[in-house]
Every structure is written in structure tokens, then in C-alpha cells.
Amino acid sequence: MSDRARLEALAATVGAFHVTDRAMRGAQDAIERALAAGDVDDVTARAYLDAVQRYFEPYEREAQGQLRHVDRELERLYQLQYNYTAERGVVAKRVEAVRGVLGALAELRAQ
């Protein structure tokens, strides 16, 4: 894939985002105009790539932070589920034992 094709693909991907930042929106408009005119020079391409990096890097860091938070919460929930499953097993055995005692009591009283 040529650099132009990769730049067009990147511009299309970025263009699919709802961008409200003026600088990024301006860079996107400029690269789209340059690509449509077939006149993308190195300065325009570099300015666009720099704008994309400045705009998207903070979002990537934020998303990584959110992912770490969700992973921690999932780990906590898995541990809770494990603990409750173990506790349920203990309680189920207790219920079974109590039912055995009550069953034996009922048999003795019936005699």
C-alpha cells in the first residue's frame, strides 16, 4: 500500500469520528481537500499526522485508564463470585444436614 493510500485510509478512519476540536477539524478538512485535489505535499501530510497524534493520544491514555479500572472491577467481582459460590456450597451442606436431623426427629415422633 502506498503512502498516499495509507494517508487516505487514515483520513477516512479519522473522518468517521465526531470531531469537535477546531484544530483537528481544520487539519481534517485540509487533508481531505488536499487528497481530493491530488495535491498532498510533505508539509500538509506532516501537519495532519501531528494533529492526529495530538488529538488521539490523550484519548488513548484515557481509554487505557478506563480499561484498567474495568479490569480491576471485574477482578473484584470474580473474587466476590468465587467467595459467594464457596459460601453457598457450605450453606447448602448445612441445609442438607439440618434436613437430615429434622427428618430423623419427625420419624422418631411419628412412632
Burial 29-64 (b: 16+ CB within 10 A, else e): eebbebbeeeebeeebbeebeebbeebeeeeeeeee
Question: Three cell numbers at 73?
Answer: 472491577
The pLDDT score that the predictor gives to residue 108 is: 93
The pLDDT score that the predictor gives to residue 101 is: 96
Q: Cβ(48)–Cβ(31) under 8 Å?
A: yes
Domain extents in the chain = 3-110
The pLDDT score that the predictor gives to residue 1 is: 56
pLDDT tens digits, the chain, 111 residues: what are they? 579 899 999 999 999 999 999 999 999 999 999 999 999 999 999 999 999 999 999 999 999 999 999 999 999 999 999 999 999 999 999 999 999 999 999 999 988
